[in-house]
Structure 1
Amino acid sequence: MIEQGGRMLTLNSISQARDTYLEFLHQEKNMHKIWHNPLLIACENAELSFEDCRFLFSQYYYFSKHFTRLLGAALMNSEQDKHRAMLVENLWEESGEQDLENRHSEIYKRFLCNSLQVENVEQIEFEPFTKLFIHEYIALCQKNEADSCAAILAFATEAIVPRLYQVFKKTLLGVGLAENDLLFFNIHIECDDAHAATLEAMAMSYIDQPFSLERCQHAIRQALDLRDQFFSQLYQAMINRRLLKLLQPLVKHSEFADAKAIYQHGNDKLTPLYSNKSESSSLLFSVGRYDYPSHVLDPRLLKIPVGCHNERHAHAHESVFYIAQGQAEVHIDDCVLSASKGEVVYVPRWLEHQTHNIGKEELIIFAITDYKLTRHFSGNSEASYRKAPENVFQDVTV
């Protein structure tokens, strides 16, 4: 009989218990809040710019080049020679085997230099929270026992790589990188399942130890919490960098753009933005953007045919509608406003709204928004805010 977490197991039930424990530990990984982190959501929604990626992956380099220290902590904690040999094999692969120039941290370094155009990788200024994350992650591995240390590396480190790096690949491909730029990520997507299995086997070898499952679950949560906090801090720092770039011209009183570009005739700068229609309803409209080099204002021209409307939706940017032609009925939350040529309607942020053409000619609205400010925040990119189900609502019938 074997005691486990206050329960008595027969030897015949150990195999079944192993499968159950594995399921519990994978659940800790799969159900953790990290997968809803704003940074990963922004990556999924293709909201990062090339400059954002340079910052993000430059900071992540600190984790890459210190990763072998995590394996070193597991080596120190391991009581079994076989386990140490398994860890050495993982270290051997991470270190490029016989070719030091192909160690994984060096491949990552070349990715930064060649693909993200980081000029001097060794001169990267790492944020204090980046250094703290690695320090705390290593300390967490060092202080845990052999089983829970292996669980940290198996379930909270190696096993999350395929899913995490697919998200990273999506955002990198979205800013113009090619598949052959992503060697580092592809290597780890392919090999980290095997590394995770090795560490998983180490953790499961302690199944006969009292409270091993509870220790492993707790350690996995702690490790994922640290990474989740790190990603949140990265995302906030990224937003701050974007806003600082917007504020610099205000503080320095510098020119925003070339005067010739600013004073060009508006109609010459109107470009299609998006449109939508439905065969089963009167949804039909188009939107164009006046492509001025502005930092905050984003002027647009909305056109809706007679008897039609746009979708009912909400977004982070606020808008001012100037009715240039026709007659509109604008639904804002529970309020209904009628507006004719020459009148103005204000639409606050995040309120559901929809515009109907109730006149006898095409409705044309000149809309001024602050989208060039709010696009820097998650959930309000061109690719996300109109398509997100939570931002589109059932039409209002008039």
Structure 2
Amino acid sequence: MAQLKKLKNRDRQDIGAEGLVVHSEDAIWLDASVTGNPSEIGVLLDIPARTMEFYLQRIPVGAATDLQRHVHESVHFVLEGEGYSEIGEQVVRWKKGDFVYTPPWIWHRHYNTGTVTVEMLLIENSRLLEALDANRRESAGLIDYRTWAKQKREEEEGGRR
């Protein structure tokens, strides 16, 4: 009954101030020992969003993330730097001010080709999928998409013999 009453009365405005402003310096940074690649992820735990997750990401000069895929959608907003991404078979270039969209369950990897550390804001709908027990992430490691695809084809052809 309480849930039905809540659905009918959605005008409550006393939400409290906690989490309405989260400072980037409060991010908890995960390094290569956790990420499995040279990039660092800044986890923003205090944002109270229920369906979206927000992270900061840094990719050092000349480095790249791991090749990965996940069932959630993600958008990287490039705060600083330039580079390119392999998103499936596509290679797309980006620079400061650009948005990079990664569709669900597509292998992808981000590369820093510039002269400064790439800094990105990462927004994904992983919390929604986590709430539904439907989230999944997979890493192929520090390998580019073409090499991964070639190995996959060779494995499939070997299995058919």
Q: TM-score normalised to the size of structure 2?
A: 0.72
8 Å contact from structure 1 (residues 257, 293) kept in 2: no
Q: Which residue identity does 1:338 align to in structure 2?
A: R
**Corresponding residue for residue 396 of structure 1:** 144
**Corresponding residue for residue 19 of structure 2:** 262
**Corresponding residue for residue 323 of structure 1:** 78
Output the CA distance in 2 between the equivalents of 1:325 and 1:369: 19
- Residues 283-306 of structure 1 show CA distances to partners (whole Å, capped at 9, x for unaligned) of 401111222011111111011111
Structure 2 residue ranges without an equivalent (≥5): 147-161
8 Å contact from structure 1 (residues 249, 256) kept in 2: no
Task: Give the root-mean-square deviation of aligned CA atoms.
Answer: 2.9
Higher relative contact order, chain-length normalized (CA < 8 Å, sep 6+): 2
Report the CA distance between 1:262 and its aligned residue.
3.3
Q: 1:257 to 1:361 in 2, by over 3 A?
A: farther
Higher Cα radius of gyration: 1
Q: 1:397 to 1:250 in 2, by over 3 A?
A: same
From 38, 59, 75, the counterpart of 1:284: 38
8 Å contact from structure 1 (residues 299, 369) kept in 2: yes
Q: 1:367 to 1:257 in 2, by over 3 A?
A: farther
**Corresponding residue for residue 314 of structure 1:** 69
Name the one with the larger helix percent: 1
Report the CA distance between 1:261 and its aligned residue.
1.7
8 Å contact from structure 1 (residues 330, 336) kept in 2: yes
- Residues 18-69 of structure 1 show CA distances to partners (whole Å, capped at 9, x for unaligned) of xxxxxxxxxxxxxxxxxxxxxxxxxxxxxxxxxxxxxxxxxxxxxxxxxxxx
2:123 pairs with 1:368: yes
- Structure 2 counterpart SS, 1:360: coil
2:91 pairs with 1:343: no
Report the CA distance between 1:309 and its aligned residue.
0.9
- Structure 1 counterpart SS, 2:61: coil
Output the CA distance in 2 between the equivalents of 1:303 and 1:354: 13
Report the CA distance between 1:254 and its aligned residue.
6.3
- Structure 2 counterpart SS, 1:328: strand
- Structure 1 counterpart SS, 2:31: strand
- Structure 1 counterpart SS, 2:85: strand
8 Å contact from structure 2 (residues 60, 112) kept in 1: yes
- Residues 153-209 of structure 1 show CA distances to partners (whole Å, capped at 9, x for unaligned) of xxxxxxxxxxxxxxxxxxxxxxxxxxxxxxxxxxxxxxxxxxxxxxxxxxxxxxxxx
- Residues 119-146 of structure 1 show CA distances to partners (whole Å, capped at 9, x for unaligned) of xxxxxxxxxxxxxxxxxxxxxxxxxxxx
Output the CA distance in 2 between the equivalents of 1:358 and 1:257: 47
Report the CA distance between 1:371 and its aligned residue.
1.2
Q: Which residue identity does 2:94 align to in structure 1?
A: A
**Corresponding residue for residue 114 of structure 2:** 359
Aligned length: 138
Report the CA distance between 1:348 and its aligned residue.
0.7
Output the CA distance in 2 between the equivalents of 1:306 and 1:397: 20
**Corresponding residue for residue 304 of structure 1:** 59
Output the CA distance in 2 between the equivalents of 1:350 and 1:257: 39
**Corresponding residue for residue 156 of structure 2:** none
From 236, 253, 261, the counterpart of 2:10: 253
- Structure 2 counterpart SS, 1:373: helix
Q: 1:356 to 1:260 in 2, by over 3 A?
A: same
**Corresponding residue for residue 89 of structure 2:** 334
- Residues 52-100 of structure 1 show CA distances to partners (whole Å, capped at 9, x for unaligned) of xxxxxxxxxxxxxxxxxxxxxxxxxxxxxxxxxxxxxxxxxxxxxxxxx
Output the CA distance in 2 between the equivalents of 1:251 and 1:335: 47
Output the CA distance in 1 between the equivalents of 2:121 and 2:109: 15
- Residues 303-362 of structure 1 show CA distances to partners (whole Å, capped at 9, x for unaligned) of 111111111011111111100000121110001111100011111111111111111000
Output the CA distance in 2 between the equivalents of 1:256 and 1:275: 39
Output the CA distance in 1 between the equivalents of 2:75 and 2:62: 22
Structure-to-structure mapping, 1:107-186, within 5 angstroms: none
- Structure 1 counterpart SS, 2:21: coil
* Percentage identity across paired residues of the two chains: 20
**Corresponding residue for residue 50 of structure 2:** 295
